[in-house]
Amino acid sequence: MIVDTTAAARRADSGLVTEWLANQRIFISSAMADTIAARAGVAQQIENLGAQAVWFEEFGRDADAEEAYLSELDSSTVYVGILNEVYGRPNPPDGDSATEIEYRRARETGKRVNVYVAANAPNREGVLSRFIDRIRFFVTTESYTDDDDLVRRVGRRLEALAAEALSPWIKLGGFVFRADEITDTGSTITIRARVSEEIAHFVRSVRDQPYHRERLTFVSRTRVAVAELSGAQHTTRAGGTDEITIELTKAESRLGDSMRVSTGGYGPDDLVELGLQELLFGTPIPGDLGMLRGLATTGIDPSDLRQAFDLPNEFAEAVVRLVLTEGLVGTGHAQRLISLAVGPRSGDVRHIAIEWEEPKVYVNVQPQRRRIDGEWRRGSISGTPQNHR
């Protein structure tokens, strides 16, 4: 797998960024006791960028955390957490603050989570320090020096989220890169992107094969398909910018080609979960499967997964998602990947959480969801892909 890491630095068109932000509701979460001015500044920055700030001062009600906060969080698209020195008032039954409850809910519901931690906090409560340590399993936090610095960082991050949303990562054959635009009509997929010369050369060579149209696997966040590369237009613009438009035709979704078997009291979806636990976290397959342990397959390519986990934090999660989607969805082991959290790398360790939906087997039965989490350690992934093509 070849990943075009140069794509991560590109900025989206300012007009498109403004349009994207206009559709976002940004939830501000913090203990209000020591962040009143910071919250106001961040809310004003969010509104200045054209998004909607969702914060307690505007929707406040005299109610507990679950009633007052979570309904507004659920209707938001981005979570911004601000942590200074105070943890916040404990709420029953577990004694967690509203901020921690909101953070967990944001992660569980797949929000884009962004957390800012005050760099100068000599009187930080111990319970807040422990909460920050838990957050850092999954999120690369940013430190801020004062309220003005915080406001600048939030604005920059929202613009980066817009660029990320407007330039989605895709995998085409063995190449991973960002696209500027994807048009998917079902049978035809058109990709417009600025890519490295290596990728452009590969696309042209496939296009120019004289005797047959090569079929390539296309992977996005939500779809795995096999299609013919029927056209590629390479445009060089003033200033040296190279753009390529790729046309894929006769696209067919890769779904349901896996064998669904049960053995030893384990159903087919149990076996997939066991395979994921082994692949991601090195958890041994139960010994009672004996020689049938090979049935616990995932379809995921271990070498691609190792490479994705080793990428820098800024785009490791996006590429890991493509690799997992290609394996699980492409071989029919999952209907879809619902959420994925890949924490920042600490030494040779990343914390991973993944939720997926089981394949739809019966028309009148809603597929169940499954979720696992744990620590990936470099060197824990080994072997060759099973049930993968």
pLDDT band at 212 (very low <50, low <70, confident <90, very high): confident
Identify the residue whose tokens are 């590629």: 232
The pLDDT score that the predictor gives to residue 17 is: 85
Q: Which residue has the higher pLDDT, 281 or 387?
A: 281
Task: Please state the rounded mean pLDDT for residues 60-83.
Answer: 75
The pLDDT score that the predictor gives to residue 68 is: 62
What's the pTM? 0.76
The pLDDT score that the predictor gives to residue 389 is: 33
- Over residues 93-136, the pLDDT tens digits come to 888 998 999 999 888 877 889 999 999 999 999 999 999 999 98
Q: Are 178 and 7 in contact (CB under 8 A)?
A: yes
Say what the alpha-carbon torsion angle 52, 58, 63, 67 is, to the nearest 10 degrees: -10
pLDDT band at 10 (very low <50, low <70, confident <90, very high): low
* C-alpha 111, offset from chain centre: 10
Does residue 295 register a pLDDT over 90?
no
The pLDDT score that the predictor gives to residue 356 is: 95
Distance CA 187, CA 185 (A): 6
The pLDDT score that the predictor gives to residue 63 is: 46
pLDDT band at 210 (very low <50, low <70, confident <90, very high): confident
Does residue 242 register a pLDDT over 50?
yes
- Over residues 125-167, the pLDDT tens digits come to 999 999 999 998 878 899 999 999 999 999 999 988 887 777 8
Distance CA 177, CA 161 (A): 17
Letter for the amino acid at 58?
Answer: E
205 contacts: CB under 8 Å, gap ≥ 6: none
Residue 288: how many CB atoms within 10 A of its CB? 11
Task: Please state the rounded mean pLDDT for residues 39-54.
Answer: 95
Residue 138: how many CB atoms within 10 A of its CB? 20
The pLDDT score that the predictor gives to residue 93 is: 80
The encoded tokens of residue 270 equal: 């149990």
- Over residues 307-342, the pLDDT tens digits come to 999 988 778 888 999 999 999 999 999 999 988 888
The pLDDT score that the predictor gives to residue 137 is: 80
The pLDDT score that the predictor gives to residue 258 is: 56
Does residue 11 register a pLDDT over 70?
no
Residue 118, strand partner residues = 144
